[in-house]
Amino acid sequence: MKILVISEVFYPENFLINDLVKEWKKQGKQVDIISQYPSYPESYVYPGYSNKGERIENWEGSKIHRFPFIEGYKTNVYKKIRNYLRYVRGASKIGRRIGKDYDMIFVSQTGPLTVALPAIRIKKKFGTPATIWTFDIWPDVVYMYGIPRNIFTKFILNRFIAYVYRQFDNILISSSGFKSSIQKFVPDKNIYYTPNWLQPVDFAISELHLDKEKFNFTFTGNISLYQNITNVVLGFHKAGMQDCVLNIIGNGSAYEQVKACIRDNKIKNVRLHKRIPYNQIDDLLQHSDAFVLPLLDNREIEKTEPLKLQSYLSVGKPIFGILSGTCRQIIEENELGLCASPSDIEDIARGFKAMKEYTSTNKEKVFENSRRLKNTRFNKERIIETINGVICGKTSI
């Protein structure tokens, strides 16, 4: 099978699609990729790339067809929209040129749903079957970033979403909570649950060292509006736990907002660190006592299953979920930790206090429950087997 992957992000950016392509190559599939020059998360081109013209590079036996993006989209809504449109034009241009050579188009949608449009154009031109793997649910994500929610925008967005999903032969979702949101647009389509799995990395000792004299709560990953970190910080501060530290490691669009919150409230026991290399995260988590997994209090965002969950499961320590919805259900049903309301500062403070006691009495149980979940629901081999069955037409709902 010859597969053409269309993704807004790809290696050296660290996303799950990289690992799926590697596995497909091991299975003897020919896989090539259309993507922009790497820029995530800072929205500027990586060293070694020029962000000019088109370029083909070889990676793990695959060809990556690169094209330019609009730099500075991270903090500028106008540039962000321009970059969405730039992607559609650039990927469509390459796709129309090379699309006839493939048996399957596979879209990895980790951001805007517009990333699917080039695949639809290729499908219509060459009749190639197409599959989409959805990691980010529209339309509420669009509203969260400032687009007004009114009758006009709702009408336009709903028609666009329905149009996109109707064009795909197969729909994969990274969270079970996404199914109802998509099914209402395409009630006659089968939708398959294929969640995140943890990518293998070469372990490295972390350059960041935690305070061994304190009880360490740790959050790692992207710091955006989604993560609701400001409420996490305020809740931890209100708990008044002087023998504990909240470590926030990462970067993102809300980093400066969180930094200002810590400064303005004169919070002493929250440590805000920049992003560390991905292969050092496991070591850092091993030296933590409990993990923090927050999400914004939003009816669509609460349907997500963050990849961070798999990272935490791999270490097997208690999780404090400051969230609602699908991920909270996973934590509570599998006895992985405690949860609090993401919009209630008092509840978050109470949760932090309770977590310290919970951790001291439930370490072994959480470790076993984490290992079981990692080997069943989030088992890499099983998930890829499902994906392969779907794209080959051998999987039923």
Read off the pLDDT of residues 34-64 as tens digits, 9 standing for 90 and up.
999 999 888 999 999 999 999 999 999 999 9
If asked whether residues 241 and 185 sit together in one domain, one would say no
Residue 146 falls in which region: left (phi positive, over 0), alpha (psi -120 to 50) or beta? left
If asked whether residues 173 and 290 sit together in one domain, one would say no
Assess if residue 187 is contained within a domain.
yes
Instruction: Write out pLDDT tens, residues 174-203.
Output: 999 999 999 999 999 999 999 999 887 888
Assess if residue 23 is contained within a domain.
yes
If asked whether residues 368 and 230 sit together in one domain, one would say yes
Residues above pLDDT 90, as percent of the chain: 81
Helices (H), 127-269: 140-144, 151-166, 179-183, 229-239, 255-264
Give the span between the Cα atoms of 269 and 246, in whole angstroms: 7
Assess if residue 97 is contained within a domain.
yes
Instruction: Write out pLDDT tens, residues 300-327.
Output: 788 889 889 999 999 999 999 999 999 9
Buried b (16+ CB within 10 A) or exposed e, 319-343: bbbbbbbbbbbbbeebebbbbbbbe
Residue 143 — pLDDT band, cuts 50, 70, 90? confident
Asked whether residue 284 carries a pLDDT value surpassing 90, the answer given is yes
If asked whether residues 184 and 222 sit together in one domain, one would say no
Asked whether residue 395 carries a pLDDT value surpassing 70, the answer given is no
Asked whether residue 23 carries a pLDDT value surpassing 60, the answer given is yes
If asked whether residues 279 and 145 sit together in one domain, one would say no
Predicted pLDDT of residue 248? 97
Asked whether residue 394 carries a pLDDT value surpassing 80, the answer given is no
Phi, psi of 311 (to 5 degrees): -60, -40
Does residue 378 sit in helix, strand or coil? coil
If asked whether residues 192 and 236 sit together in one domain, one would say no
Least confident stretch, 50-59, 144-153, 307-316, 369-378: 144-153
The domain spanning residue 325 has which CATH number?
3.40.50.2000
Mean pLDDT of 113-124: 97
If asked whether residues 114 and 151 sit together in one domain, one would say yes
- Token pair 């070889």 in the structure block, residue: 58
Asked whether residue 145 carries a pLDDT value surpassing 80, the answer given is no
- The DSSP call for residue 44 is S
- The DSSP call for residue 38 is P
If asked whether residues 12 and 72 sit together in one domain, one would say yes
* Residue positions counted in the chain: 397
If asked whether residues 145 and 274 sit together in one domain, one would say no
Predicted pLDDT of residue 253? 81
Assess if residue 397 is contained within a domain.
no
Give the span between the Cα atoms of 390 and 388, in whole angstroms: 5
Predicted pLDDT of residue 76? 85
If asked whether residues 242 and 168 sit together in one domain, one would say no
Mean pLDDT of 102-124: 96
Give the span between the Cα atoms of 92 and 34, in whole angstroms: 9
Asked whether residue 377 carries a pLDDT value surpassing 80, the answer given is yes
Buried b (16+ CB within 10 A) or exposed e, 217-243: bbbbbbbbbbbbbbbbbbbbbbbebee
How far is residue 173 from each of residues 133, 176, 206, 279, measured CA to CA in Å? 6, 7, 33, 26
If asked whether residues 55 and 114 sit together in one domain, one would say yes
Assess if residue 204 is contained within a domain.
no
How far is residue 45 from each of residues 114, 144, 361, 392, measured CA to CA in Å? 21, 26, 47, 36
Helices (H), the chain: 16-26, 77-98, 117-126, 140-144, 151-166, 179-183, 229-239, 255-264, 281-286, 307-315, 326-333, 345-375, 380-391
Question: What's the whole-number average pLDDT of the chain?
Answer: 93
Predicted pLDDT of residue 33? 98
Asked whether residue 396 carries a pLDDT value surpassing 70, the answer given is no
Asked whether residue 149 carries a pLDDT value surpassing 90, the answer given is no
53: domain range?
A: 2-197+379-391
Predicted pLDDT of residue 374? 94
Mean pLDDT of 228-255: 94
Assess if residue 210 is contained within a domain.
no
Assess if residue 73 is contained within a domain.
yes
Instruction: Write out pLDDT tens, residues 61-81.
Output: 999 999 999 999 988 888 988
Predicted pLDDT of residue 141? 75
User: What's the whole-model pTM score?
Assistant: 0.89
Cβ atoms of residues 391 and 383 within 8 Å: no
If asked whether residues 179 and 284 sit together in one domain, one would say no
Assess if residue 14 is contained within a domain.
yes
- What is the secondary structure of 62-123 as a DSSP string? EEEEEE---TTGGG-HHHHHHHHHHHHHHHHHHHHHHGGG-SEEEEEESS-GGGGHHHHHHH
Q: What total number of domains does the chain contain?
A: 2
Residue 207 — pLDDT band, cuts 50, 70, 90? confident
Predicted pLDDT of residue 36? 98
302 burial level (CB within 10 Å; 0-12, 13-18, 19+)? buried
Mean pLDDT of 198-210: 86
Phi, psi of 225 (to 5 degrees): -60, -35
